[in-house]
Structure 1
C-alpha cells in the first residue's frame, strides 16, 4: 500500500556485535522482549523467524541482516545494488536460503533470492506493470509461494512460484473477485498475505468502505472473499493475519493514523476466514497493531505488535493484554520444541526475541 512508505538509515558494518538487553515488560505478563541491538538504523518491516537462534530481517535502504546465534551477532547480507529499494518482506527456511521482497510502483517491486546465507543474491522477479505495487508474499512450502499486488485494472494481482522463488508467474485474474473502490493491502509487516497447509492462503485488505479477507484453496488461482467487521478507511483496515490451522485465525489492524487507539483493531475466525467476529474494544489490543503470530507449542497464545506496544492473547485472540509499550512493526514465530522462537522487528534497527 502506497501510504506506508517510511524512511530510515542504512545498516552498519559487515558483522554487527550485539549485547542482548532485556526490554521492560508491563501488565504482569509472563512474556517480555529481549532486545538484540543490530547496529542498524533501518526500519525492519520484513522478518523471517527460523528458530530461536536463526532469523532474518529486511528493511529500508536495501538492508538485510541475518543472525544464527540468537541475536548476539547480526551480519549485514544486503543485496548489492539494492540500496535505493525498500524491503518489506523476507521468507526463510534455514540459515542459508531466503527470499526477499522490495515494494514500490513499477520496477521498484522486486524479489531477490539467496542460497548461500546472503553472500550472493539473484533477482528473480521485477514488476514491469507501472500500475502494480507488490505488498507482501508467503510460502506454504519451500517450493510454493504467492506474492500479492494492489489492484490492477480493478482486481488484486497474484504472482506465483513453484520452485522456491527461482521464478515467478503472474496469475490470470479471472478467479479473483473485483476490488472495492479504494481497496488495497498494507505493506506493513509482511503478513497481509499468509499461507496455510496445502494450497490454502489468505490475504487481507483495507482502504475501502470495509476490510475484507480473501481465501484460496488452489494455490492462488481462484479466490473467495468475506467482509470483516474491523475498521476501514484511508489508513485503516486489516494489517496482519495469523492462522493456527485451516480454521482458527486472528486478524489485527486498526487505523495507522491513530496508533494509540483500538479502533476495531482485532477479530477472530473459526471457519477458515469465511466469517469474522469483532473483538470488543475493552478486550482488544490497546492500539493499532501491524503484526500478529501464534506462539509455537501453544493452543491459543498469540502475540501482536505495533508502534504503541505489544499484546498477548491466551485465548486465541478473543482477549488481549499489553505487556510491552515499545515499538515494533512485525512479529513471527517458528521452530519446534526447544528450538521454537518468536522474533519482532521495527524502526531504528529494533529487533527483539520473545522470552518468558
Structure 2
C-alpha cells in the first residue's frame, strides 16, 4: 500500500492480449462479458505466482503482497503488487498473470483496458518512477520526468493527467512527454483535480492546523473553503469527484493507533460536515472541533484510514485497517455524510485498498502478516467473498 504518515510507527510492530476466455484483450471501450453466475464461478485461486512466492521465501525476502487494485467494470480489473500484476475479466472467478518481473508497483491507473500508468520501483532502488503501458500492462516503459518524483498519479485520459509530489502538482497534456507545474497555495501538502480546471489543495498552517482551498481555473487562483484547528499536522488526503469532496486530516499516532477527522460534502466544498472524529489514546485528539456524525472510523481499535471511493452524488466509501485488531473493513455513507455506517470487520488483515464500480459492487486487496488476498462484495461491504489468495504457507 502507498505510504501514509502513520505507517512508519504504526507498522513497526500483456493484458490486451490475454487469453480470450479472460477477456482482458478487449479493445478500449468494448463491453466486457457479464459476470458469470455463482454456480460457474470457482475460487479463482489457480496457483498463480506460487513459484515466484516460493522463490521470494527461499531468498529470505518478504512474501508477495498486493499494493493496488483497480476495476474498470463489474467484470474487468487488475491487482498489482510486488513484482506482478494479475488480471480478471469474469468478475474474479479466474485470474491470469498480466505482468511478472522486477517492478514493485505502488500505484496503477488505467484509463481504459489498454492504456495505463504506474508508479513503481526496483529492489535495487526504492525511489518510484513513472511507467506507462499500451498493451494492458504486459509491458512497461519508463516516462522521463526529470527531477520530479511523483508520489501519486491521476490520469483523465491517455494524454492528460496529473503527477503529484509531496508539495505540488504537475500536469501533462501529451501523454507524459512534458510536464507543467500547476500553481498551488503555499504549504500545500496534498492536492487533487477533478478535471483540468477544478481542483483542491490541503495546506498546513504551522501552529494553527489545516486549510483546504479550491481552484476553478486550473490553479491560477485559489479560494479557502475550510479551516480546521489541529495541534498536530501530520498531513492528510483529499478525494473529489463531480460534486463530492472529502478530506482526511491526520492528528497524531502511537500504539498502533491513529487519530483523524473526515470532513466531506456534496456541494463542491461550499459547505463542510465533520463526519468522523476519531480520538485515540495513542494518537490524541482528532483535528477540528464540533459534533461529528460518528466518533470512529472503520476497523477498530484505532483504525487507520485507507483510500476512499466516491460514486454518484452522495456515496462515499472509506477503507480502514487495524494493526492492533488485525482486521480490515469499510465505512460508507449514502447521503453525503448525514449518516455514516461502519461495516463490522469481517476480514483478517492490517491494510486494505478498495475499488468500487458502483455503490454496491466493489473489490478489496488485503495485506496481512501471513497472506495477501482479494475479496469482492455485491452488497456494499456487508459481506465479502475471497476471490484470490496467495498460499498462507507453502507446503512441499
Q: TM-score, normalised by structure 2?
A: 0.61
Of the three residues 317, 320, 329, the one matched with 1:306 is 320
C-alpha separation in 2, matches of 1:207 and 1:352 = 40
Of the three residues 160, 163, 171, the one matched with 1:144 is 160
Q: 1:65 to 1:320 in 2, by over 3 A?
A: same
Q: How much does 1:228 deviate? A: 4.7
Alignment check: 8 A CA contact 2:361 2:376 kept? yes
Alignment check: 8 A CA contact 1:252 1:290 kept? no
Q: How much does 1:204 deviate? A: 4.3
2:181 aligned with 1:171, yes or no?
yes
Q: 1:300 to 1:179 in 2, by over 3 A?
A: same
Residue of structure 2 equivalent to 1:285: 297
Of the three residues 373, 377, 389, the one matched with 1:350 is 373
Q: How much does 1:157 deviate? A: 2.6
C-alpha separation in 2, matches of 1:305 and 1:231 = 23
Alignment check: 8 A CA contact 1:107 1:127 kept? no
Structure 1 or 2, whichever has the larger Rg, is 2
C-alpha separation in 2, matches of 1:317 and 1:230 = 21
Task: Tell me the matched-pair count.
Answer: 298
Q: 1:312 to 1:270 in 2, by over 3 A?
A: closer
Q: How does 1:131-210 map to 2 (within 5 A)?
A: 133-150=149-166, 156-163=167-174, 165-171=175-181, 175-179=183-187, 184-185=189-190, 194-197=192-195, 199-204=197-202, 210=209
Residue of structure 2 equivalent to 1:329: 352
Alignment check: 8 A CA contact 1:160 1:220 kept? no
Q: How does 1:242-281 map to 2 (within 5 A)?
A: 242-243=240-241, 245-246=242-243, 248-252=244-248, 254=250, 257=253, 263-273=259-269, 276-279=272-275, 280=292
* Residues 154-196 of structure 1: CA deviation (Å, up to 9, x unaligned): xx23222213x44241416xx322117xxx44xxxxxxx5442
* Structure having the larger proportion of residues in strand: 2
Q: How does 1:210-225 map to 2 (within 5 A)?
A: 210-219=209-218, 223-224=222-223
Alignment check: 8 A CA contact 1:268 1:318 kept? no
2:110 aligned with 1:89, yes or no?
no
Residue of structure 2 equivalent to 1:73: 94
* Residues 212-265 of structure 1: CA deviation (Å, up to 9, x unaligned): 43434344565555545386736x44335243x23x322335458369868343
Q: How much does 1:138 deviate? A: 1.2
Q: 1:305 to 1:44 in 2, by over 3 A?
A: same
Q: CA RMSD of the aligned region, Å?
A: 4.0
Secondary structure of 1:171's aligned partner? strand
Secondary structure of 1:176's aligned partner? coil
* Residues 258-292 of structure 1: CA deviation (Å, up to 9, x unaligned): 69868343111344235533121635524331211
